Structures are given as structure tokens and as C-alpha cells.
């Protein structure tokens, strides 16, 4: 069995809601193509298979993907400046993901996204996604609204609810405070996203959130971003100065050992490092479709020549255990 733990879908209702907006986030059409505008510095073309769930199934079938865990992509609902708009966009997006899952329950499971407008409304929407829509995880962008870090105290009830309900937290890059720096040369998607994800994960660690919630499960995608390479540096340099470890009882690597990742590493070298540092018990196959052709990561995983037990874990076993599917 093959499970894809990172692939994206923009439902019709969400596209329509964003197309009717004049402020960020919004969709605009140019000829036959849709473009998503998250912020001044975040404009992305929408590939046909992110809009058409039938095309996504065709891609899955072509590469023997049995089950895909689908989520919204940039722009997320949290980018809306008005709190009510953000929460309403989240509801629309979640309903659209749920509709795709309901039409193809044997092929898809859904992740929630939240608006983070009103925190009480945000928690109610998360509970609705878990209890009524049957979603198996919450996806959040590295900086809420493109600005606020995940350890902002206002968001604490969300992390507590995830830990209480044993629902994984899936990190994903998006607009960030460094957007202007990333604007040239497409530096955000090329490298900046990995630093933003890494910072988000480290803020969950250094703030004490992961210590406070030992049951909180976290997926840091893209081969663990920069942390398989840098976690030793983080341990060493945080150990000999006041400040970084004030909220935690152990080295950062202690908490990193609870974090899982996916195989969207883009090279056998990077994926080998993720496997070496994190192990097959924390590594899951993903495609990041449609931003990357599905066959790209199928090929990279196949080239590494895993042992049969490790291959079974990476293709599906680790995902089944992590998401309890």
C-alpha cells in the first residue's frame, strides 16, 4: 500500500470565495488559469490537478498511490485581515475538503485548516472538523496570518485541544515576515520555506509547547526541513547561554525525536540524511503534488534501496501509525 501524506486540493467553494475577494487572500483569473494571491509577495499559479479532484485521482492511479491525505494550500484562510472573514474562509475550505473525501472515501482523508480569527470560534471549528467531518490532522502555516509565530499565547488552546484529542499537527510553509527578502528569484519556495518550517518547529520546542503537551504529535514536512542537518548545532549553541532553554527541561533534540517528517526532500542525499537522523519510524512518503510531479518523489524513494521493512514503513506503515488510519 502507498499513502501520500502531503498533497493539496483547492475546492470549488474555496476558490469561489477567494475569487470574490478584493483584499488578501484572493484568487484572480488570467485567461484559462487561476492565480492565488496570498500577500504582496506570494502569488502562485494553480495547477489543474489542485482544482480538479478527478485529475488528482488519475495522478494517484498512475503511480500506485492508494490513499492521499489532502489539505488546502497557499493561500490559507488565516491570511484574511478580518477575523470573521478568516474563520468563514476556514469553514468554506474545510467543507470543500470534506466534500472531496465524502465523494471518494477510499482514496482520500482530510486535514483541517483554521482561520485563527476568534480563538473560541477557531477551537469550535477544529472540533467540528474532528467530530463531524472526520478529519485526521490540523495543517497550520509556519506563521499564522503570515506574521504571528505558533507560540503566540493566543493560540495555546488549539495546541491543547490537539493534544487532548490526539490529533496531529502538520506544519506547512506559507507567507512569512521574511516575505520581502524571499520575493526576488522565487527564494521563498526554493529555500525560505524550509527555514520558516524549521523556525516554526523550534518555536514549538523552545516555547515549552511540546514539553507542556507530551502527547502532541507534529509533522515537519520536506525531509524535516533544515533540522536533520542543524539539530546538533541547535543543541550545542543553545546549551551554553541563557535564554533558549528557559522553558524546557531537556535538549532540543529530545523533543525533535517526537517530530515526524515526509519524503519531499528533492534528492536522494537529502532524503538519506532525513532517514539517518530520523529513521523510517518517523518518515512517510509524500508527493507535495501538484507543485512537484508525483513521479519525482516516487522515483527518489525507489532509488534509495530501502530494506523491505523500512520501505513498508515509509510507503504506508509510519503514516498508518502516526495518523491512526
Domain spans of the chain, in order of start: 3-323
Q: Is 197 exposed, middle or buried (0-12, 13-18, 19+ CB in 10 A)?
A: buried
pLDDT digits (tens), the chain, 325 positions: 999 999 999 999 999 999 999 888 988 888 888 888 777 666 778 888 888 999 999 999 999 999 999 999 999 999 999 999 999 999 999 999 999 999 999 999 999 999 999 999 999 999 999 999 999 999 999 999 999 999 999 999 999 999 999 999 999 999 999 988 998 898 999 999 999 999 999 999 999 999 999 999 999 999 999 999 999 999 999 998 889 999 999 999 999 999 999 999 999 999 999 999 999 999 999 999 988 889 999 999 989 888 899 999 999 999 999 999 9
Q: Looking at the annotation, which residues are catalytic?
A: 288
Q: DSSP secondary structure string, 280-312?
A: GGGEE----BTTS-HHHHHHHHHHT---HHHHH
What's the pLDDT at 22? 87
- Confidence (pLDDT) at 42: 67
Q: Which neighbouring-strand residues pair with 35?
A: 28, 45
- Say which DSSP state 250 is in: S
User: Does residue 25 contact residue 14 with C-beta atoms inside 8 Å?
Assistant: no
d(CA 142, CA 195): 10
Strands 26-30 and 33-39: antiparallel
* Pick from 115, 159, 158, 111: nearest CA to 135: 111
pLDDT given at position 47: 82
Instruction: Tell me the three cell numbers of residue 81.
Output: 485581515
Cell numbers that stand for 249 in this block? 527541561
- How many Cα atoms occupy the beta-carbon half-sphere of 2 within 13 Å? 19
Q: Is the distance from CB of 2 to CB of 15 less than 8 angstroms?
A: no
CA 174 to CA 163: how far, in whole Å?
24
**Do the Cβ atoms of 281 and 243 come closer than 8 Å?**
no
Mapping DSSP to helix (H, G, I), strand (E, B) and coil, where does residue 172 land? strand
Return the sign of the alpha-carbon dihedral for residues 259, 150, 97, 55: negative
Question: Using CA atoms, how far apart are residues 235 and 237, in angstroms rounded to an integer?
Answer: 6
Domain 3-323 coded CATH 3.20.20.140: yes
Amino acid at each position: 500500500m502507498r499513502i501520500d501524506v502531503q498533497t493539496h486540493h483547492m475546492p470549488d467553494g474555496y476558490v469561489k470565495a477567494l475569487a470574490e475577494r478584493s483584499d488578501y487572500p484572493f484568487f484572480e483569473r488570467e485567461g484559462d488559469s487561476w492565480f492565488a494571491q496570498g500577500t504582496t509577495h506570494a502569488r502562485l499559479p494553480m495547477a489543474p490537478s489542485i482544482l480538479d479532484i478527478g485529475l488528482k485521482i488519475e495522478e494517484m492511479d498512475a503511480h500506485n498511490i492508494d490513499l492521499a491525505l489532502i489539505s488546502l494550500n497557499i493561500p490559507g484562510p488565516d491570511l484574511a485581515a478580518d477575523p470573521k472573514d478568516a474563520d468563514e474562509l476556514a469553514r468554506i475550505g474545510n467543507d470543500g475538503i470534506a466534500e472531496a473525501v465524502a465523494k471518494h472515501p477510499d482514496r482520500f482523508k482530510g486535514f483541517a485548516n483554521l482561520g485563527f480569527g476568534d480563538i473560541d470560534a477557531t477551537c469550535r471549528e477544529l472540533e467540528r472538523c474532528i467530530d463531524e467531518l472526520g478529519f485526521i490532522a490540523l495543517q497550520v502555516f509556519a506563521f499564522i496570518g503570515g506574521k504571528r509565530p505558533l507560540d503566540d499565547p493566543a493560540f495555546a488552546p488549539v495546541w491543547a485541544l490537539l493534544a487532548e484529542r490526539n490529533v496531529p499537527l502538520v506544519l506547512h510553509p506559507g507567507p512569512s515576515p521574511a516575505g520581502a527578502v524571499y520575493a526576488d528569484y522565487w527564494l521563498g519556495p526554493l529555500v525560505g520555506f524550509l527555514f520558516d518550517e524549521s523556525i516554526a518547529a523550534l518555536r514549538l520546542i523552545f516555547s515549552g509547547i511540546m514539553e507542556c503537551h507530551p502527547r502532541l504529535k507534529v509533522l515537519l514536512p520536506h525531509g524535516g526541513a533544515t533540522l536533520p542537518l542543524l539539530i546538533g548545532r541547535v543543541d550545542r549553541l543553545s546549551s551554553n547561554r541563557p535564554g533558549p532553554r528557559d522553558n524546557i527541561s531537556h535538549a532540543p533534540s529530545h523533543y525533535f525525536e517526537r517530530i515526524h517528517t515526509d519524503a519531499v526532500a528533492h534528492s536522494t542525499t537529502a532524503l538519506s540524511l532525513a532517514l539517518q537522523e530520523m529513521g523510517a519510524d518517523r518518515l512517510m512518503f509524500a508527493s507535495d503534488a501538484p507543485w512537484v510531479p508525483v513521479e519525482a518523489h516516487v522515483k527518489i524513494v525507489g532509488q534509495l534501496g530501502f530494506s523491505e521493512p523500512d520501505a513498508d514503513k515509509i510507503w504506508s506503515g509510519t503514516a498508518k501509525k502516526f495518523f491512526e488510519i
